[in-house]
A and B are shown apart, each in its own frame.
Chain A
Amino acid sequence: MALLQIERKPDSAFQGRLIRHTQSICPDCNRILPANVIEHDNKVWLHKVCPQHGEVEELYFGSYEMYQKFSTYWVDGKGTHAPNVPIDLCACPMNCGLCSNHLSHTGLANIIVTNRCDLTCWYCFFYVKKGLEGAYVYEPTHNQVRGMVRALKAERPVGGNSLQITGGEPTLRDDLADIIKIIHEEGVDHIQLNTNGINLALQPELATKLKAAGLSNLYLSFDGISPRTNPKNHWEAPYTLDSCRKAHVGVVLVPTVIKSVNDHELGGILRFAQKNIDVVRAISYQPVSLTGRMKKQEREKYRITIPDCIHRIEEQTEGEITRDAWFPVPSCSPITHFVETFTRKPQYELSIHFACGAGTYVFLDEDRNKLVPMTSFVDIRGLLEYLDEKSDEINSGGNRYIAAARFMAKIGSFIDKAKQPKGLNMSKLLVNALIKHDYSSVGQFHLKSMFLGMMHFQDKYNQDEERLQRCDIHYLNPDMRIIPFCSFNVIPEWYRDRIQKKYGITVEQWEKEHGEKLEAKLYKGTLRRLGAQKPHEIMGCATSAVHIEPITGV
């Protein structure tokens, strides 16, 4: 293993305290640059200097204290043992696919089934726009889908088992159920659908059809609880939830969080989820990724990071979900390692960088109608420490069955049963999830709880190649490459646009082949008109006058 040596040394003319050196790219020319992760004003910043385009300092993590806490969970993953792009020199973000130097297997694979969309949201980068030069409609064939899923399953040491169908708007494909069936046939257990939910609201039977084909849950774009913050599907989302409720399809709400736009509604989104906890399994807050060229002042207006969202949720829930309840995604690695040492087999692990994502579990206390974070009745840190200790014992020659028996005997001591919500048997849930560690037992855990997650996708301003190298949210492609999210979307000119051009057709050709205009599928706000009170509420995204800057999120 080796790193491509770059000419320049890290710039030392920054203000603040150095935390670590890393690499990034120039937002103008994509040149690989040395970068410093630094602290000042109790926040963490990324600082870099391009010899041609100058200095950039960007907010990286909104709390130094939380950065320090999260960084203690840093664990590098098992890496890719069967890379699709074998290379010696590591030169992130080039040569993605996955390459020999990538450090995480696929945690969640994205498969784009279409880049057509029935909305034209002002901040979205993904949908095909008619009239733009080089606009291609990308819709892989069934054979291509099968091939891509096989590439995912062929990953080593752990084959991929969790897949998201995405777009564009995937429900625009009439053969979506067939695509789900193919993915299911190829052995993927978890299939989720990334959607705006409008077609599921308009056609309630669609959810049942997709469930029967093998769909696990919906990943529902949901940016706020008012028409202003969520013009996309404010009126439609309740109908979508009803369709899913009837079809027994769980829903993950996915707000793209933009400072000064919808960051005041993070608590409100949580309350909306609480009201619909019978069908909403999780919320995945996604701080916005800023694409396109944007001035520093504008970036400051919109930029929000994981700690900022966590603080706002604490404030907006009046301390119900405290900042201490959140852990970085790789904090679950002691669980994986314990299961690995016990089973002596490599296991699915979430080994992303600690600054990429965070999460917590909450349970509903029905008596008080309050959400209770798992941390208020489970000593998570103590439990993780204990698992680490037991893994060490087994790795050092200790008897694994004795270690597992001790763990089961001890697990109750990490749970405060008096504070545990009524009707919940956390010990049993944990033992099943840890010892069985299969899809169904982990699924049972999720049925009893609601997961709150954060995932901050990068952009050219805050891109940290140490994060990219550990990314586990990947895109499957017809050329069999599996490309990390923050390469695929952050540098579309190298990845996404090229692939869609190569495997897509022009808009004109698509219209000719399908005998309809691309814009014919745009949503006209049918459901909005039923409940709208004011003129701006009847304006669907398709006709929305709201357009500020090309801000993006997924």
Chain B
Amino acid sequence: MSHGQLTAKKAGPTRIGSISLKADRDTILVDEPIKLLLRFQIDGGFRDNFTQQVWEEAYKAHDVRLRLTLTIGFAKKVGGVFSRKVGKPIKMVRKAKLFWTRNPERHNRTWVMVIDENEAPMIPKSGAEAQSLLLDFNRSFDLLGTDLGKGTHSIVAKVKAKWGRHYYAPKGSVEATSPPIKIVCT
């Protein structure tokens, strides 16, 4: 890898966008599980630079492996702030591997394989699909009523994404908090 050789096209800062949290129900019993659906995407500089053109350059610099670490936690509002953690934060890793493809349909030689947090390898059909597989997040989590306790709760998801230094992005991290949702636990 070529350190500090950030010649990829200039783009704005990276951010977490379109973050949303939904529950499959508004009301649960204290001994019941609840399913929370979290969606967000990593936008801005990182996404804009993660293109086939830049992969080609990164590959030449032998910068072929990316680790994107995602940490996701839930918190409930106590005393006016979302300070009380609900359950343990979950750490996940998504990876991208640049490789020389011999797909005769492609004119460029570098392509990408994305490996999701379940270690499922995927070879995208297009650059946009590669961005989506790596940087879009849509996953459900199970919480127990006992994690929340009885009462009416305001819950948020706190998300952090971080990555190391690469040809297409300086080392960085971004954080975001979802809009709150209300859950009544009886």
Contact = CB atoms under 8 A, between A and B. Distances in A.
Contacts of B65: 75, 337, 388
Interface residues of B, number: 31
Interface stretch (A1-9, A236-244, A406-414, A453-461): A1-9
Contacts of A28: none
Contacts of B120: 68
A21 interface: yes
A103 B98 CA distance: 13
Contacts of B97: 74-76
A22 interface: yes
B104 A23 contact: yes
A389 B103 contact: no
Given A2-B109, A71-B113, A75-B65, A395 B3 contact: yes
A3 B102 CA distance: 7
Tier of interface size on chain A: 35 or more
A19 interface: yes
Nearest to A74: B97
A8 B64 contact: no
A458 to B, nearest CB: 14
B168 to A, nearest CB: 14
Interface in A253-286: none
B24 interface: no
B9 interface: no
Nearest to B116: A72
Contacts of A396: 164-165, 171
Contacts of B95: 72
A6 B120 CA distance: 31
Contacts of B59: 76
B104 A21 contact: yes
Given A72-B115, A389-B67, A396-B165, A6 B104 contact: yes
Given A75-B65, A76-B98, A10 B105 contact: yes
Interface in B86-132: 93, 95, 97-105, 107, 109, 113, 115, 119-121, 123
Interface of A: 1-3, 5-6, 8-10, 19-23, 34, 68-69, 71-72, 74-76, 78-79, 90, 92, 101, 103, 337, 385, 388-389, 392-393, 395-397, 465-466, 469
11 contacts: A2-B109, A3-B102, A3-B104, A5-B107, A9-B104, A21-B102, A75-B65, A385-B93, A388-B65, A395-B1, A466-B100
